[in-house]
Every structure is written in structure tokens, then in C-alpha cells.
Structure 1
Amino acid sequence: MKVVIVEDELAASENLIFHLKSLNPDIEVIQVLDTVKSAISFFSQPQEVVLAFMDIHLADGISFEIFDKVRIDIPVIFTTAYNQYALKAFKVNSIDYLLKPIDETELSKALEQFKVQSAKEPLFDDKMSGLLQLVKNQTKTYKSTYLVSHRDQLVPLKTVNIAYLYIDMGVVKAVSKDNRSFVMDDKLEDIENELSPDQFFRANRQFIVQKESIDHVNHYFNGKLIVNTVPISKERIVVSKAKAMEFKKWLDS
């Protein structure tokens, strides 16, 4: 069975290929496409592939935009790290959607469904327009800069430069990657909702950590984790057993 993968993250595409080969060695991945543009070019030509896996967010846009330019007459399984997209409401030609990181059991179920539903109608333009509109409506804009006080100055602190945030004696502080500390005016709960969940994780009631600031993670007793950041936090950052799996999936995505 010949398939094509539309995915811009090398680790994600390699992980998917590994699971596909593990489930069925006869599956042949013809090509991995990493942009909307390359996918349009690929599907503009006659192809032998019978199934496509598409990540929703690509380097140059959203994969639903591909359907604005070219007609795709094969089933599509969408992959996404964002479970807010209600893709199940639009299963006309798509088989299923899979949440990242890809679980082999869920992938197996999707492939079985593909075998059962061999004869399917192509994706209609209005359905893809609906999907595209859904993503546009539900894609949230996250905070990129906070205006913070530092000594006698107001300093624009970019979120990409925040290593972690924490509560210190009732006061929320942000520590930058160059180890400067800034007092924040908002509550940690409000800040959490303003930051991109791709980059920031609420480790516990006291800490929010930024992915790129994490140096390593230690196993702790009772299934807990200790997060080690750069710069080093004075307080121990502990992830509970209940959140440990979610944290590891987030860090691995």
C-alpha cells in the first residue's frame, strides 16, 4: 500500500513511518512533503498513493489550504497536536484524525477503518472550506510581549525570552533566559491562558516552564518528575504523578 505523508517536523514524520512499518511492512511511503506548496505540486500530478497523512499546521500554512488549489480523491488522515479541532464532524473523505504524539494503537485503528471504507467520495470543497474556517476561528493569538517594571524602567519582555514564571511570596515573577527577574502584574492563572501551550507548561501551582529552557528532567519518588531549567531555579520544580505523562508528551512533541 502506497501512502504519502504531509508533515514539516522531521521527528514526527520519522515516528509515523516507524509505526506504519511496524504495523504493516508492506506499506510504502512514497514521499514526505513538508509544505503546502510542495503538497499542491505533488497532488497536481497523477499519483499511485491510496492514502495520505496530513499534519494540519505546516511551515507555510494550513494543510486545508491544499484543497483550495487541487482536488484530492484519496482518503486523508489528519494529524494534529491540537485536539480543539473538531475534525470528526467533517469525515467525508478523511478516515480519522490522530493526536500527536502518534499512538500506534490509534494508528492501527485508523488503518483498519481505511480497509473497511475502501470506496469513499472525494473531499468536497465546501467541507474543506468549513475545516479551514474552523481552524481560523479557533486558532488563538497568544501573548508575545509583556511590559514589565525593572528598577525605574518599563521593559518589553518577549515571551520567547522567558525561561519560567513562578509565585514568590504571593508575587508572580518571570525569570528571563539571561537570568533576570521581573515582577508581573497579572495572576499566574491569567498568564497561563495568555501563553502558547506549545511552548509553556503549568508544571504545578507555583511554576510555568518554557520548553526551550528545560535542560533535563529527573525521576522523583511516587512517579513525580523534577524539571531542571537553564537558568537554574532556586526552588525545586516538581511535576506531579498525575501530570507526569501529559508533561512528557508535551516535552516530546
Structure 2
Amino acid sequence: MKVLIIEDEAPAARRLQLLLKDVDSSLEIIATTDSIISSVQWLNTNPAPDLIFMDIQLADGLSFEIFSRTTIQAPVIFTTAYDEYSLQAFKANGIDYLLKPVEISALAESIQKLNTLKEQFTRQTERKNLESLLKTLRPEQPTYKSRFLVKIGDRLIFIPSTEIAYFMAEEKIVLIITMDNKKYIADHSLDELEPMMNPKDFFRLNRQFLAHIQSIKNINQYFNGKLKLTLQPSPVQEVLVSRERASTFKRWLDV
């Protein structure tokens, strides 16, 4: 772990370095700065450290000023001889707040706290990455409409999608035609209904019909590459599938 120390008192900086080595010999002190100006300059010209120890009261002002002059991308453990700045410290990347003179036990607890937070963050990140991967490999199944609420006089009833033979556009309304040839007014256009219905069961035959596969009783070749269908219940008008839609329709039937 690479550590930056921001401390304007040289003896305090040296003592902190010795304590850190005692707590964790793998810690690497990569730099020590002693003012707001030198700290901002260092942070702007070097890769972000893994951890910053920051004295609050520096020779040229409070170290909180550093946060307004540059972007700090590392967790911060604040050190100070006074406890009046604790709230500000925790608002500014602070994971802990140590009073001077820093005790080795308190320092060890701060490092342990940092390691625990990093482990938790890593696990959360790994879990999110795994969840994202699972969604990619196993995308969520779309939800299709299973029933429709329709009004008959003063009554409301629901029609299961499994009982619908087809939807038929007639002038400015769309009718729901059930397998037993009952008719209800739908509250949606065919364009709105098409993505609502399970494409394994329903197919948009043309501008007028969105039909359930069970309603298709006969298919005949028609002139110009079109297909002529017989639906049950039988509508008054002819039901044609255009030449452009015919191949897609055949593939849908053959799944």
C-alpha cells in the first residue's frame, strides 16, 4: 500500500513513518508534503496513493483547503492535536480521525478499518460484476400480458390471454375476439398490443390482425406471393399475409 503523509511538523512526520512500519512493514511511504501548496502540487503531478495521512492544521492553513483545489482519489486518515474538526474530516474522504500524539494501537485500528472497508468494497464490486455477468449470460425474461380487463356495461371482467383468438382493428377501435367468438373493445392499438403479447403465441398478420397461433386453421398460397389464412372464429373480411411478411410468418409457424 502506497502512503502519502501530509504533515508540517518534521518530528511528527518521522514518528508517523516509524509507527506505520511497525504496524505494517509492507506499507510504502512514497512522499511527505508539509503544506497546502506542496500537497496540491504533488497530487496534481503524481498517481493517486492508496492512502493519505493528513494533518489538519498546516503552516499555510487548514488541510481541508486541499480538497477545493484538487481531486483526491484516496481515502484519508486525518491527524490533529484538536478534535474540533472531526465532522469536517469525515465529510472529506475521511475514514478515521486520530488525535496527536498518535498511539500505535489507534493507528493499527485505523489501518485495520481501512483494510476491512477495502475488502467489503471489493466483495461488493465483485458481486455487482458477477450479477452483471449473469444478466448478460442469462438476460431477464420479458413479461408479457396474461390478461385484459374489459368493461361490459357496468361490469368489469378479465379475459385471459390464452382465451384470445385474435385482436382485430375495425375502423378506429380494436376488438378482442375470443376463442368462443365473444367480442370486447380493447384499450390499446395493435401497435401497442404487439409488444405486449408473447411472440411465441401471437403474430402480427397485417395492419388489421394480431392472431394467436391456435386461431389459424388453414393457410393457402395466394397470388403475388401472399398467403390467405382461415381464422377461427372466422372474420367477415379476408385475412392476408403480404409477400414481405410471408417468410417471417412461415418461420414463426415452424419454431
Q: TM-score range by the shorter chain?
A: 0.3 to 0.5
What is the TM-score with the length of structure 2 in the denominator?
0.47
Q: Which protein has greater RCO, CA pairs closer than 8 Å, 6+ apart?
A: 1
Larger radius of gyration: 2
